[in-house]
């Protein structure tokens, strides 16, 4: 089973850490993943709240690649900056988003990371069709090496944000000249109206995704429970099995035969004395039941 967490690359301590990590480079992400009990995972290459070059030197990249190959099963995923908006009708923001995505893709290639994950963003009044066309245009302008794949992440669907409907994901994957795939966030999908709270509901959503997008395009699952009810468009993650998706839904997701080869990456909270280690262990427990 490939399960891990979105971990920090920082040199200092992190809310999920018991102690300061031992390295002064990106190997801290590997160290944290192993400490939490994960064997794959996700990182930001820099603060997601700013436009920034990842700035990774060749020595640091080699150490990260070696440590990952030695201690983890993989894959790793880079999550793009929260500022990226592929759907924007604004030329300036489009160019910044394109530049940021290209830098993340280049960093992934340098680090030997297979996936770069991105939200479609918001059309901000341009309309759904125009917004999706804008996203396809940005993605088509990227230079993506063969060893890297861009994943379009499902969204909770609030406001003018796109990606909450599986049809949005399918339109972009099918319409782009790039070989794109998809990451489904369980909390986002639930917030967008896809019920995952029972075994039967999970089976129905998996079948619907396969019919609309195709399970062959599902390369990662962000496994998160939800603090809010289905269809509320509220994106707030809960501990595995302790939100509105609950134990039955989570158990079915982690044991569904069509999903067994899909890596699970947790973005669960650190609260109530529990963090990534507790949630990863919980996933393994549910899968074994």
Do the Cβ atoms of 152 and 175 come closer than 8 Å?
Answer: no
Residue 5 contacts residue 279 (beta carbons within 8 Å): yes
Average pLDDT for 147-151: 98
**CA 281 and chain centroid, separation:** 20
- Which pairing describes strands 41-43 and 76-79: parallel, antiparallel, or unpaired? parallel
Band (pLDDT 50/70/90 cuts) for residue 15 is confident
| Helix and strand totals (H; E) in the chain | 9, 12
* Average pLDDT, integer, range 169-177: 98
Instruction: Give how far the C-alpha of residue 34 lies from the chain's centroid of Cα atoms, to the nearest Å.
Output: 19
Range 87-96 average pLDDT:
98
CA distance 266 to 185: 9
Amino acid 94: pLDDT:
98
- CATH placement of domain 3-288: 3.20.20.150
The residues, ordered by sequence, that sit 6+ positions from 123 with a Cβ below 8 Å of its Cβ are: 87, 88, 89, 130, 131, 132, 134, 160, 162
Q: State mean pLDDT over 101-108.
A: 98
Average pLDDT of the chain, as a whole number = 97
Residue 14 is predicted with a pLDDT of 86
Q: pLDDT exceeding 90 applies to what percent of the chain?
A: 96
Distance CA 245, CA 225 (A): 6
Q: Report whether the peptide linkage leading into residue 75 is cis, meaning its omega lies within 30 degrees of zero.
A: yes
Confidence bin at 18 (pLDDT 50/70/90) = confident
Looking at residues 217-246, what average pLDDT do you find? 98
Neighbours of 211 (CB within 10 A): 11
Q: What is the pLDDT of residue 19?
A: 84
Tokens of 60: 């640091």
- Residues 251 and 289: beta-carbon distance below 8 Å: yes
pLDDT tens per residue, range 202-225: 999 999 999 999 999 999 999 999
Quote the tokens at residue 74: 């993989």
Query: pLDDT at position 53, please?
Result: 94
pLDDT tens figures, 38-61: 999 999 999 999 999 999 999 999
pLDDT (average), residues 152-177: 98
Our CA angle for 278, 283, 287, nearest 5°, is 145
pLDDT of residue 269: 97
Q: How confident is the model at residue 241 (pLDDT cuts 50, 70, 90)?
A: very high
Tokens coding 64: 């990260």
Task: Tell me the Cα Rg of the chain.
Answer: 18
- pLDDT exceeds 90 at position 288: yes
CA distances from 153 to 16, 69, 99, 274, 281 (A): 24, 26, 19, 26, 25
Mean pLDDT (whole number) for 174-183: 98
Which residue blocks in the chain are alpha helix, DSSP H?
A: 27-36, 58-71, 91-111, 128-140, 166-175, 186-191, 199-212, 246-255, 276-288
> Hey, is 210 helix, strand or coil?
helix
């Amino acid at each position: 089973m490939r399960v891990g967490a979105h971990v920090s690359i920082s040199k200092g301590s992190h809310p999920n850490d018991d102690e300061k990590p031992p390295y002064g480079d990106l190997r801290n992400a590997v160290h944290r993943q192993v400490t939490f009990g994960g064997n794959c995972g996700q990182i930001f290459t820099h603060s997601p709240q700013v436009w920034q070059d990842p700035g990774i030197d060749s020595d640091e990249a080699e150490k990260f690649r070696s440590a990952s190959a030695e201690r983890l099963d993989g894959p790793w995923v880079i999550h793009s900056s929260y500022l990226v908006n592929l759907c924007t009708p604004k030329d300036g923001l489009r160019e910044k988003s394109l530049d940021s995505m290209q830098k993340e893709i280049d960093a992934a290639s340098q680090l030997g990371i297979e996936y770069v994950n991105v939200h479609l963003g918001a059309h901000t009044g341009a309309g759904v069709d125009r917004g999706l066309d804008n996203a396809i245009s940005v993605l088509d302008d990227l230079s993506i090496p063969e060893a890297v794949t861009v994943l379009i992440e499902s969204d909770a669907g609030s406001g003018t944000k796109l990606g909450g409907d599986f049809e949005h994901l399918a339109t972009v994957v099918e319409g782009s000249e790039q070989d794109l795939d998809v990451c489904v966030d369980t909390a986002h999908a639930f917030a967008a109206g896809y019920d995952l709270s029972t075994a039967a509901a999970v089976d129905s959503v998996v079948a619907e995704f396969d019919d609309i997008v195709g399970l062959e395009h599902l390369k990662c699952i962000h496994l998160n429970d939800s603090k809010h009810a289905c269809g509320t468009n509220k994106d707030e993650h809960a501990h595995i099995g302790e939100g509105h998706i609950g134990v039955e839904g989570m158990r079915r997701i982690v044991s569904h035969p069509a999903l067994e080869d899909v890596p699970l990456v947790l973005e669960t909270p650190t609260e109530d004395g529990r963090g990534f280690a507790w949630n990863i262990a919980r996933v393994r427990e549910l899968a074994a039941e």
